[in-house]
C-alpha cells in the first residue's frame, strides 16, 4: 500500500483497526504539520467511541475518542493508527489521557517516525501497566508517508502523476494539449489534489494547457484546495494564467527544486509535463509514481513523458504504479 493508493481507494476492511484507519483518513490534508491519526475505543467487542485529529492545535485522535467515551473507557481497548505521543506540544501528551482513562490495552499501527520520540509513548504506557501491541500495519505506514518524509528529511513527499499513451507520450505534438484519460482516472487525480498540500507543474504546461490545478468533483464539493506551484526559471508565465487566480489558496512561481523545499510543504503532487517529471526523477525526488496509461498511440512527433536521462533509472522501493487499462482515449 502507498499513500496515493490509500487516498484513491480508501480503507476496505472492517476490523477495529480498519475503522481507526478510516477515522484517520478524515484528517488527510488538514493536519499540517501533524500527521493524520485515527482512533477507536472498544469494550466487550462493542464500539464505544471514535476520534481523529482534525487540525494542528486541536485534540489528538486518542484524546477526542476518550473524551467521547468518558467513564466507559475504563478497561477498554484503544486502537490507534500512530503510537500515542508522550510530549507536550500544543496539546498535553496522549499517554497521560490514556492512563487517566483506565484503558487496559493499546494497539497501535506504526511507531512515531520522529527518531527523537519513537518508542517513548509505548514505553510510558507499559510502565503504567497497560498492555501495548505495535502491529506495524502497512496502511498505517502509508497514511503517514508524507509526515515521515517531512519529519526525517525536511523535504516534501513527492507524488509524480503522469498520463501517457501506450508509446509513452504525453501530448500529440509540442504546444498541444491531448486529453488522454477517462473519468475514473481524472477523479483519482482530483482526489490526489485534494489530499496534497500543493500541486506543481512546469511552465510549458501552464502555457499550453492553462490548467486551474484545483480539486473538482462532479458529485460533491472539494473538501480543500491545494496550493499551486509553477517551475518557471525564465518567467514565461504571467498573472493572467489560471494557476495564479486570486482565491483562497496561494500560488507560487519558483525556479528550482531547492526553492520548493523552502516553501515547507509536507506533500506535493507533481503533474508534469515531461521535462519537470524528468527533473524530479533525475534528482531522485519522486517518492511515488502514479502512472496512468491510456489505450492510445501518439507517434514519434509526440511529447515524451521522459526526456534524456543521464543513466537508466530503475524504480524501486516507494515507487508505486497505478496503471489503469480501463482508461478511454478521448
Ligand X SMILES: NC(=O)c1ccc[n+]([C@@H]2O[C@H](COP(=O)([O-])OP(=O)(O)OC[C@H]3O[C@@H](n4cnc5c(N)ncnc54)[C@H](OP(=O)(O)O)[C@@H]3O)[C@@H](O)[C@H]2O)c1
Residue 232 sits in the site that holds ligand X (CB under 6 A): yes
**# binding residues, ligand X (CB under 6 A):** 30
Backbone angles phi, psi at 252, to 5 degrees: -135, 145
Contact (CB, 8 A) for 40 and 106: no
Contact (CB, 8 A) for 123 and 130: no
Choosing from 90, 116, 220, 234, the residue that interacts with ligand X (CB under 6 A) is: 234
Q: What angle do CA 193, 198, 201 make, to 5 degrees?
A: 90
Choosing from 118, 123, 136, 177, the residue that interacts with ligand X (CB under 6 A) is: 177
Cβ neighbours of residue 311 closer than 8 Å, sequence gap 6 or more: none
Residue 42 sits in the site that holds ligand X (CB under 6 A): no
Choosing from 82, 171, 195, 198, the residue that interacts with ligand X (CB under 6 A) is: 171
Choosing from 140, 163, 290, 296, the residue that interacts with ligand X (CB under 6 A) is: 163
Q: How far apart are CA 106 and CA 98, in angstroms?
A: 9
The per-residue DSSP string of 265-312 comes to: -SEEEE---HHHHHHHHHTT--SEEEEEE-S----TTSEESS---SS-
Residue 202 sits in the site that holds ligand X (CB under 6 A): yes
Residue nearest to ligand X according to CB distances in the complex: 273
Query: Based on CB atoms, which residue is closest to ligand X, 151 or 170?
Result: 170
Of 147, 151, 106, the closest CA to residue 124 belongs to 106
Contact set for ligand X, span 254-273 (CB under 6 A): 255-257, 271-273
- Known active-site residue 62: yes
Catalytic residue among 62, 194, 271, 288, which? 62
For residues 168-191, b (16+ Cβ closer than 10 Å) or e, as one string?
ebbbbeeeeebebbbeebbbbbbb
> C-beta of 193: minimal distance to ligand X in Å?
13
Residue 167 sits in the site that holds ligand X (CB under 6 A): no
Choosing from 142, 162, 215, 296, the residue that interacts with ligand X (CB under 6 A) is: 162
Per CB under 6 A, residues contacting ligand X are 162-163, 170-171, 176-177, 180, 201-205, 208-209, 231-234, 236, 255-257, 271-276, 279, 303
Catalytic residues: 62
Amino acid at each position: 500500500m502507498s499513500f496515493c493508493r490509500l487516498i484513491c481507494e480508501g480503507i476496505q476492511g472492517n476490523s477495529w483497526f480498519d475503522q481507526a484507519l478510516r477515522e484517520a483518513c478524515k484528517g488527510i490534508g488538514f493536519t499540517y504539520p501533524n500527521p493524520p491519526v485515527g482512533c477507536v475505543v472498544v469494550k466487550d467487542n462493542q464500539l464505544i467511541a471514535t476520534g481523529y485529529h482534525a487540525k494542528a492545535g486541536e485534540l489528538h485522535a486518542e484524546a477526542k475518542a476518550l473524551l467521547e467515551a468518558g467513564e466507559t473507557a475504563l478497561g477498554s481497548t484503544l486502537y490507534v493508527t500512530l503510537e500515542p505521543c508522550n510530549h507536550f506540544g500544543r496539546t498535553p501528551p496522549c499517554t497521560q489521557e490514556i492512563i487517566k482513562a483506565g484503558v487496559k490495552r493499546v494497539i497501535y499501527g506504526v511507531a512515531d517516525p520522529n527518531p527523537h520520540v519513537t518508542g517513548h509513548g509505548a514505553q510510558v504506557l507499559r510502565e503504567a501497566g497497560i498492555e501495548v501491541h505495535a502491529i506495524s500495519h502497512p496502511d498505517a505506514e502509508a497514511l503517514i508517508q508524507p509526515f515521515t518524509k517531512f519529519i526525517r528529511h525536511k523535504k516534501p513527499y513527492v507524488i509524480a502523476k503522469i498520463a501517457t499513451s501506450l508509446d509513452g507520450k504525453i501530448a500529440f505534438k509540442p504546444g498541444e494539449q491531448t486529453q488522454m484519460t477517462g473519468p475514473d482516472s481524472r477523479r483519482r487525480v482530483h482526489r490526489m489534489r485534494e489530499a496534497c498540500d500543493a500541486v506543481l507543474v512546469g511552465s510549458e504546461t501552464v502555457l499550453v494547457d492553462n490548467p486551474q490545478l484545483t480539486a473538482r468533483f462532479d458529485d460533491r464539493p472539494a473538501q480543500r484546495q491545494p496550493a499551486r506551484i509553477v517551475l518557471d526559471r525564465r518567467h514565461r508565465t504571467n498573472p493572467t494564467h489560471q494557476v495564479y487566480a486570486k482565491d483562497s489558496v496561494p500560488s507560487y512561481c519558483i525556479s528550482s527544486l531547492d526553492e520548493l523545499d523552502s516553501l515547507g510543504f509536507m506533500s506535493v503532487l507533481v503533474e508534469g509535463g515531461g521535462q519537470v517529471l524528468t527533473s524530479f526523477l533525475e534528482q531522485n525526488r519522486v517518492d511515488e509514481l502514479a502512472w496512468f496509461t491510456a489505450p492510445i498511440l501518439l507517434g514519434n512527433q509526440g511529447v515524451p513523458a521522459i526526456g534524456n536521462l543521464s543513466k537508466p533509472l530503475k524504480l524501486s522501493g516507494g515507487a508505486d504504479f497505478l496503471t489503469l487499462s480501463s482508461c478511454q482515449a478521448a
